Structure 1
């Protein structure tokens, strides 16, 4: 794998050939971290909903819908603010536009999130695709026109 050269990520960035795409196993690790972190948000939320009479265990569709929408908002907010979820931050990766290597648009992030459903519904084939694709793109990345790369050295962790 190639190391990153002087690549600029952000508005008006130009693509560089020396990007390091993040592979399957690193992204699996990132998803485990994200799952663990999301439990710290979702479990208290489920307890709060239960105190007001909305309970997931009771099969209440509102609780499930509220939880899914909140999770989507949290993930997309992280992507917009940091171009990464906590798991991707742990592995020093960012999500960028596949053409410009700049910050993806809100539309791309929403399509990417919805693309996870497409990627998983077909026996997770869309997620496994990362292992075989030259640019390490899952179907969700292809749908959103994004790639996951190692964070460029000139992009500070907190600023994206």
Structure 2
């Protein structure tokens, strides 16, 4: 990847990508949950309705997101907005370990009132805590931007 052709993707475009991804997850999981558990599922105060609930709401999204990062360098939402998730040092595609680590690090980013996600808006490389922990950056084709992309080891 030629770093002069890309820039760091900022907070708002990443929010847009997350909204697209969240909508897709709801479109897929909602009918599955209703077909298996009925409408009563949404009235329940239980954390999990059963094993299928765990698979549909936790495992399926995790596997899908990690697969998209590994195969396409972007989830559908990021791809729709021409964003890519890459290694912060080289600009290369993510490793499996990086992808899993980044996914798990999202929980770290959200626990303190989402501060690790909002961090994207203030960081010079537009990295959230999950990006920093997994050594990743989100980039897009350069159109404008606060700072050019520089990978320390290319």
For normalisation by structure 2, the TM-score amounts to 0.80
> Which residue in 2 is equivalent to 1:65?
54
Question: Cα RMSD (Å) of the superposition?
Answer: 2.1
| Aligned: 1:31 with 2:21 | no
Alignment pair present for 1:42 and 2:29: yes
- Structure 1 unaligned regions, length at least 5: 1-5, 8-15, 153-160
Matched, 1:128 2:118: yes
Residue 107 of structure 2 is aligned with which of 108, 113, 117?
117
How far has the Cα of 1:151 moved from its partner?
4.8
Could you tell me how far apart the structure 2 residues matched to 1:90 and 1:110 are?
A: 22
Change (3 A) 1:57 1:106: farther
| 2:95 is aligned with 1:108 | no
User: How many Å separate the matches in 2 of 1:18 and 1:150?
Assistant: 8
SS in 2 for 1:20: strand
* 1:79 corresponding residue in structure 2: 69
1:41 Cα deviation after fit? 1.2
Equivalent residue, structure 1, for 2:148:
none
Deviation at 1:118, TM superposition (A): 0.3
Higher helix share: 2
Aligned residues: 137
The structure whose RCO (Cα within 8 Å, separation 6+) is larger is: 2
* TM-score, with structure 1 as normaliser: 0.78
Counterpart CA distance in 2 for 1:119 and 1:61 is 27
